[in-house]
Amino acid sequence: MTRFIFKRLGIALGVLLAATYLFFLLAANAGDPLEDLRASNQQNREELIAARTAELNLDVPVPVRYFYWAADAVTGDLGTDYRTGQEVTEMIGKASGQTLKLIGFSSVAAIVLGVMIGVISALRQYTGFDYGVTVVNFLLYSLPSFWVAVLLKQWGAIGFNDFLADPTIPPLALLIIGGVLGVVVGAAVGGAWKSRLIVGGTTAVLTMAVLAFMSWSGWFLDPSLGPVVILILGVGFALAVTFLAAGLNNRKALYTSLVMAAVGGIAWWPMQMAFGYTDGLVAFIQLIGFIVAGYVVGLLFRGPDKKISARVGAITGGLVYGLLWLDYLMSWWLPYTETSTINGRPIATVGSSTPQLADNTNYWVGTIDTYTHMILPIMAIILISLAGYTRYMRGSMLEVMNLDYIRTARAKGLPERTVVMRHGFRNALIPLATIIPVDLASLIGGAVITETVFGWNGMGKLFVTALREVNTNVLMGYFLVTGVLLVIGNMIADILYAVLDPRIRVDA
């Protein structure tokens, strides 16, 4: 493995050197960085041209100029922006931080949703649900990202902000939403048509009832969960996590998760006081505390495999804390929307924050403001990425579920959940695990179109601005960072494939 890593590293460095050289040639010939000075009417124009020529080494042949840049880049000096004088490393640090906000949320959501939908679609092959997922996937895969972004601005921001002026859901909309969701859930659960009809009908009725209550009570203007809803949702999470990770027959794991759900309902009152002194670091520590508590509860219950109980408790504890945190965050929604700068229209269509908000904004208001600016670009990236992950997971799951060892597991009388989750799902993740690192590395380079449409100051917008200004130092800094990430992503993908699949011999 060590020999393989060093071999891949040597190849990667060679590829990176050749790629940066070719990109430097293209960037240097993309335009004239002196164009604005040549068109200037300033009296000292010639002096300014001479100064910029010396600063950017424009009097040196381009190949030689590349080696000047490479020598500085090896020492960590990527140069400066000739227009602002700002260090390129500082510019990339700020832009990459903004991009990571989008990529972190959107990638995790797209991967989780894509894997879930892909697995269900594979298990329901050639059903109405499978055909529907296939049609939607091809539709999302073919949609232009700028068009998705514009539609989200129109319907996701402007439409929702208009809805908040009178947050009442008409009866026809309730019927349509409940009916569509009921059909989707009924098709996804599978089984006999009677059971699907019962599940789908129950889902539709509950959805319409909940939405009608939210509309009648003004929940959209002043949302909250409260201890009862947190307890109910916590029990739902507990059952789902136990079913997927251990099976409902594992009573110790089930008791562990239900205890953590009860802890969430009881902890609502003390956490209301604790959240009053919470910031980002404290919230992270609180999350770790709930996860550790769930792990300890699982160890105390023990069971056939105490590690499984502990894992179920830890996951449930983290989810329960998320509900508590979300509930308290909701309590700040009304104060946020009633500020003069927001004026009842909280979903932003451009930018990464509201500049007019007071500098002394607390953690909760600042978090809401950040999320209201992030929600549209995140949704755009999710919709574009979701189709690919769903198709990859569906194809991989179908291939695995038709292999001999799956038939052997079923012939041994193992429960279907064990066959699917333990023997099928884990092995179906192998191809996806080799794709995700490369996708994440490329996304960190910036979703250029999405960031431009939403005015998000990330890596994508930095690249577009530098290209427009023929700013070679910034372009090379961008390319170096994204190139290194792509090389690392490819190496991680190769190593993961070798680790996850014992049939792969890296030293062969």
Give the span between the Cα atoms of 105 and 93, in whole angstroms: 19
Which phi-psi region, left, alpha or beta, contains residue 345 (left: φ > 0; alpha: ψ -120 to 50)? beta
In the three-class reduction of DSSP (H, G, I as helix; E, B as strand; rest coil), residue 11 is classed as helix
Angle between helices 426-444 and 88-123 (to 10 degrees): 150
Give the span between the Cα atoms of 459 and 464, in whole angstroms: 9
Q: Which of 16-25, 320-329, 482-491 has the highest mean pLDDT?
A: 320-329
Query: At CA 276, angle to CA 271 and CA 277, rounded to 5?
Result: 105
Residue 59 resides in a domain: yes
Residue 54 resides in a domain: yes
In the three-class reduction of DSSP (H, G, I as helix; E, B as strand; rest coil), residue 293 is classed as helix
Per-residue pLDDT, averaged over 325-337, amounts to 94
Q: Distance of CA 130 to CAs 184, 279, 305, 426, Å?
A: 10, 44, 35, 21
Q: Distance of CA 407 to CAs 124, 411, 416, 500, 503, Å?
A: 17, 6, 11, 21, 20
Task: Please report the pLDDT score of residue 269 as a whole number.
Answer: 94
The residue type of 274 is A
Per-residue pLDDT, averaged over 118-140, amounts to 89
Query: At CA 69, angle to CA 65 and CA 74, rounded to 5?
Result: 150
DSSP per residue, 296-335: HHHHHH--S-HHHHHHHHHHHHHHHHHHHHHHHHHTTHHH
- Residues linked to residue 80 through DSSP beta bridges, in sequence order: 87
From the number of C-beta atoms within 10 Å of its C-beta (0-12, 13-18, 19+), residue 410 rates as middle
Span 158-186, pLDDT tens digits:
999 999 998 999 999 999 999 999 998 88
Give the span between the Cα atoms of 493 and 430, in whole angstroms: 10
- Residues linked to residue 87 through DSSP beta bridges, in sequence order: 80
Residue 121 resides in a domain: no
Binned at pLDDT 50, 70 and 90, residue 359 comes out as low
Name the token pair of 493: 């993908």
Per-residue pLDDT, averaged over 138-159, amounts to 87
Binned at pLDDT 50, 70 and 90, residue 448 comes out as confident
Binned at pLDDT 50, 70 and 90, residue 82 comes out as confident
- The pLDDT mean for the chain works out to 87
Q: Decide: pTM greater than 0.75.
A: yes
For the chain, how many structural domains are there in total? 1
Hunting for tokens 């996806």 — which residue is that?
432
Span 222-232, pLDDT tens digits:
999 999 999 99
Hunting for tokens 């090379």 — which residue is that?
476
Q: Distance of CA 239 to CAs 248, 258, 316, Å?
A: 7, 8, 9
Residue 46 resides in a domain: yes
Task: Please report the pLDDT score of residue 297 as a whole number.
Answer: 95
Per-residue pLDDT, averaged over 78-88, amounts to 86
Contact between 5 and 50 under an 8 Å Cβ cutoff? The reply is no
Residue 495 resides in a domain: yes
Residue 326 resides in a domain: no
**Residue 456 lies in domain:** 2-91+444-500
Summary count for the chain: helices (H), strands (E): 23, 0
The number of beta carbons lying within 10 Å of the beta carbon of residue 396 is: 23
Give the span between the Cα atoms of 160 and 278, in whole angstroms: 30
Dihedral sign for Cα atoms in the order 58, 62, 67, 69: positive
Span 373-391, pLDDT tens digits:
999 999 988 888 888 899 9
Name the token pair of 465: 């601005």
3-state helix, strand, coil in the chain (%, to 5): 75, 0, 20
Name the token pair of 328: 């308290």
Please determine, for residue 507, whether its predicted confidence score (pLDDT) is greater than 70.
Answer: no
Task: Please report the pLDDT score of residue 113 as a whole number.
Answer: 92
Question: DSSP state, 423?
Answer: I
Hunting for tokens 């381009």 — which residue is that?
62
Polymer length in residues for the chain: 508
Binned at pLDDT 50, 70 and 90, residue 360 comes out as low
Residue 137 resides in a domain: no
Report the 3 state secondary structure along 21-68: HHHHHHHHCCCCCCHHHHCCCCCCHHHHHHHHHHHHCCCCCHHHHHHH
Per-residue pLDDT, averaged over 462-490, amounts to 86
The percentage of the chain sitting over the pLDDT mark of 90, rounded to a whole number, equals 37
Name the token pair of 16: 């990176």
From the number of C-beta atoms within 10 Å of its C-beta (0-12, 13-18, 19+), residue 491 rates as middle
Report the 3 state secondary structure along 326-373: HHHHHCCHHHHHCCCCCCCCCCCCCCCCCCCCCCCCCHHHHHHHHHHH
Angle between helices 193-217 and 171-189 (to 10 degrees): 150
